[in-house]
Structure 1
């Protein structure tokens, strides 16, 4: 076990609250901890991250990363939980905007990444055009049928396994035919070497958008969510997202959901941290 300290504010309790929405995440609210499945050079590692500090003086105990992959595992944890992001500076940015009260209410909430970029892209595709409850149910079926479990934590099925599945295999889980094709197609792109997530990390948002939008089943909403929760990019605002539309409707007490032009107008003062505006708007209605 090791202990690390980071600069506050950082509200890990709100992090756990949001992570607990996904039934696949092994979150212990009372113990202020979460088990994180990491795949380092093909080796499955279960890390346990436990908060022992406060929002203003964040401190964590980390277990499970000991051994030859420790450095890479610890680096990945810091990336997932965005421990080096200057949240105080971001909060200051929003003090003179219409989101001031929301940022005060959810003070110190970071953007936490999905546990791997590959998982994130698959999850975004599975979640498309579904209500949140069934989206999680469908993802859970997929992972528990074709993934694997270690120490009570589920790992997503890897590309080599998904690429061999048939549409009929996923239809049995209640996937639509097209959604099944899209998920299998992503895995095949990875196996063919056409989709390398380590390489994507080095590219600009625009270049990633141009590459991913060519994939079947990947639209602008999917790419924007992948950039935010797969790679932690700070300036994305998925205006077509129903949750964000509802949050803006609530914030500005509108009679109907805002048009895209309205949303663009509201969001002008939120750059270059649109991703955080998006996150805090989601939090305001969750």
Structure 2
């Protein structure tokens, strides 16, 4: 077994991250012990689990990172830094938003970090599955997908791999309450990835525009899906999906509007937020999630 202490530049509120992560039933989160177990793959493609436990505070963030196999430690540390965005300075983001119309929101939620999905394929599948669904049913569907066709290690769930989904029939997903079109989108996209026609491993080296042009060619993938993949799969900092209903509701509430803003109004509000629009999106989503929890 291996163990390493990681120190991160403040502010970084891991408890807030765990709270948001717990919305996804696939995440192995222990809020009381400030811990998350993360499904990873080593260089040879072997699955393993790493554990991240907070031992510090928002203003002095420290973590114990551990795993079973010492040969996988280096890979784990690289992947965990990417997933939890430990090398990104939130202070720079806050300094920027102090001068914007979201200053109060960022002050209220100070220290909330960005967290990426564990794997790019998982992110793409989740975004496709979650299209045009309410959050509760969306997580129910993506969880069923992973738990039916994926696998688990030590109670931690891994999404199925593209080659395995490529072998499924549309009816396999229809039995799980997938619509016909969504079943086609998930399986057909996985077949493109498995065959190499859609090389996901090349996306991190592309610009945002290049990723958009590459993915929207695929049936069932539109701008909203690509923007979410750019944010939560690739960690791009400057995305604001104006078509997202949650963001529309969040802006309506934050700016005390009488009705949901138009796309043009969304663009107008967001002009001050560049080059960190993704953080604005996250914090606005978070404001709605917290409000929903308060009322349930």
TM-score range for the pair, normalised by the shorter chain length = over 0.9
Does structure 1 retain, via aligned residues, the 8 Å contact 2:215–2:226? yes
Please name the residue that 2:61 is paired with: 58
**Does the CA contact (< 8 Å) of 2:170 and 2:184 recur in 1?**
yes
> Once the 2 structures are TM-superposed, how far is the Cα of residue 71 of structure 1 from its aligned partner?
1.2
Task: Determine the structure 2 residue equivalent to 1:277.
Answer: 280
Mean Cα deviation higher: 60-69 or 208-217: 60-69
Q: What SS does the aligned partner of 1:34 have?
A: strand
Give unpaired runs (5+ residues) of structure 2. Answer: 290-296
Deviation of residue 67 (structure 1)? 2.3
2:19 is aligned with 1:17: yes
Q: 2:79 aligns with which of 44, 56, 76?
A: 76
Q: CA deviation at 1:42?
A: 1.5
Q: Normalising by structure 2, report the TM-score.
A: 0.95
Asked whether 1:231 is paired with 2:195, we answer: no
Q: Quick one: which of 5, 11, 33 aligns to 2:7?
A: 5
Instruction: Report SS of the residue matched to 2:181.
Output: helix
User: Where in structure 2 are the equivalents of 1:77-96 lying within 5 Å?
Assistant: 77-96=80-99
Q: Structure 1 regions of 5+ residues with no counterpart?
A: none
What SS does structure 1 have at the residue aligned with 2:37? strand
Distance 1:48 1:70 in 2: 11
Matches of 1:17 and 1:116, distance apart in 2: 20
CA distance in 2, matches of 1:73, 1:212: 28
Supply the distance in 2 between the matched residues of 1:59 and 1:65 (Cα, whole angstroms). Answer: 20
State the alpha-carbon separation in 2 of the partners of residues 13 and 252 from structure 1. 27
Shift in Å, 1:65: 6.0
Q: CA deviation at 1:199?
A: 1.3
Equivalent pairs counted in the alignment come to 286
Q: 2:124, 2:149 → 1: CA distance?
A: 17
Aligned to 2:40: 38
- Please give the secondary structure, in 1, of the residue aligned with 2:93: helix
Q: Is the 8 A contact 1:65 1:74 kept in 2?
A: no
**TM-aligned CA distance change 1:9 to 1:285, over 3 Å:** same
2:150 to 123, 147, 150: 147
1:97 corresponds in structure 2 to: 100
Q: Verify: 1:214 aligned to 2:217, yes or no.
A: yes
> How much has 1:285 moved relative to structure 2?
1.1
